Amino acid sequence: MAIETQEQNHSITQTVSQRYAKAVINGEQLCCPTGYNHKDLAQFIPEPVLKVSYGCGTPVGLSTVQPGEVVLDIGSGGGIDCFEASRKVGPQGRVIGIDMTDEMLVLARTHAPTVASNLGYPEPNVDFRKGFADAIPVEDGQVDLIVSNCVINLAPDKGKVFQEMFRVLRPGGRFTISDIVADQPIPNYLIYDRAKWGDCLSGALTIKDYWGGLRNAGFKGLHQVNSIPWRVIDGIQFLSVTLAGYKLAVTSTHPSSAFATLTGPFSQVIDELGTKFTRGNPQQIDERTAALLALPPYQDRFIIVERPVTLSVQDSRILVVYPEEAPCVWEGQFAVLTGPFLAVCDDDHHTYQCGEPVEICSKTYKVLQTTSYQPYFATINRSRGGVESDPVICEPSTGCC
């Protein structure tokens, strides 16, 4: 069985590589449209590179790049994201692009000197290497930021990819990647359809499995940056998501002098280390939890101080969003918690587990679209052809509360 799996993975990889190699020549559009600002990029990136820019992000994660950092692009293709990273890290920074397709590597390497000259650099600061996402040709702990644009779903063994990402990142490093995920497991007839792999379909994981794989590799602070519906195939919802995460620099579980108080909007949460917090109630945290809650996706939801702070419902720092007092309608909407918490509860008795779709009524949908809740959820509509549902009064018997 192991041999069969290995041979199957190799066959899939070869099929995908061959298709992308042909795209260099015939200009085929692969995966989903990206929306790059070609006018801006054309100021320093040659046209042949811009013509083969594929992915589902624009370019992902590069808004956080600091001068002098080391950036790794998994699946660098013709080099568009690497060249944009090159501009942002400056001549003192470094960019590494890895790709498995020789034709893409030739294209990227050919134009690297031109890009460096256009940026005014004395020499290129981009190194294009042949390699695979599940065996990244980079030494341990060398990278500040990993980016990847609709590539990881093409890898048969994503668990290895996530482990490799964790290995090459330095402690305190981060990733921002765009990819295609699904709202339910992909059936075998799609998994074994090799043509669909190049379409970013057959290799898509569910949100639960994608986020779970990253957490199993050691990442924390996993959160959605953006999420948009992409395609519906045989009732399977495919979404284009951009997500980010971190490799914690602090691993100590020694008690700290800090106390954390959840401010909302959730009434209760469980963080990625398994700690449960109830809104308004302070509790002492250890050093690792303090480092976790200091990450961007957590820090605005907690008050962290050296003395415990209890918040009453009337406190202005407490955040509560109640649904409107009116009947609701079932419209086919489902909500998926996309982190960073493992589980959360709202103020209308709903419990959400990360990555698991939960059917929601029209009132709950409106709550989740508020600025307080929206960053934590992806929403999908599974209805086909619309819904003509009678209004119902929210109560446990209707499944709404």
User: Both 338 and 294 in a single domain?
Assistant: no
Report yes or no on 315 lying in a domain.
no
pTM of the model: 0.88
SS3 of residue 108 by DSSP:
helix
Say how far apart CA 78 and CA 92 lie, in whole Å: 23
CATH code assigned at 261: 3.40.5
CB atoms within 10 A of CB 261: 23
Q: Is residue 132 part of a domain?
A: yes
Residue linked to tokens 């919802």:
237
- Reduced to 3 states (helix: H, G, I; strand: E, B; else coil), residue 150 is coil
Contacts of 282-286 with C-beta under 8 Å, sequence gap 24+, read 282/308, 282/309, 282/310, 283/259, 283/308, 284/255, 284/256, 284/258, 284/259, 284/308, 285/256, 285/258, 285/259, 285/260, 286/252, 286/253, 286/254, 286/255, 286/256
Percent of the chain residues topping a pLDDT of 90: 67
Write out pLDDT tens, residues 151-194. Answer: 898 888 999 999 999 999 999 999 999 999 999 999 998 888 77
Indicate if 50 and 153 belong to the same structural domain. yes
Give yes or no for residue 381 having a pLDDT over 90: yes
Segment 110-115 mean pLDDT: 97
Number of compact structural domains in the chain: 3
Q: Do residues 173 and 216 lie in contact, with contact meaning Cβ atoms separated by under 8 Å? A: no
- The rounded mean pLDDT for the chain is 88
Do 138 and 67 have their domain in common?
yes
Nearest to 282 by CA among 260, 315, 257, 256: 260
Q: Which of 371, 358, 395 is nearest to 265 (CA)?
A: 371
Q: Which domain range does residue 391 map to?
A: 333-398
Q: What is the pLDDT of residues 248-292, one digit of tens each?
A: 999 899 989 999 999 999 999 999 999 999 999 999 999 999 999
Residue 323 lies in a domain: no
Cα–Cα distance, 126 to 113 (Å, whole number): 9
By C-alpha distance, which of 167, 159, 158, 82 is closest to 125?
82
pLDDT at residue 385 greater than cutoff 90: no
Query: Does residue 46 have a pLDDT over 80?
Result: yes
Q: For residue 84, which amino acid is it?
A: E
Indicate whether 319 belongs to any domain: no
Cβ proximity of 231 and 217 under 8 Å = no
Q: Using the structure block, give the residue that is written with the tokens 């962290």.
A: 304
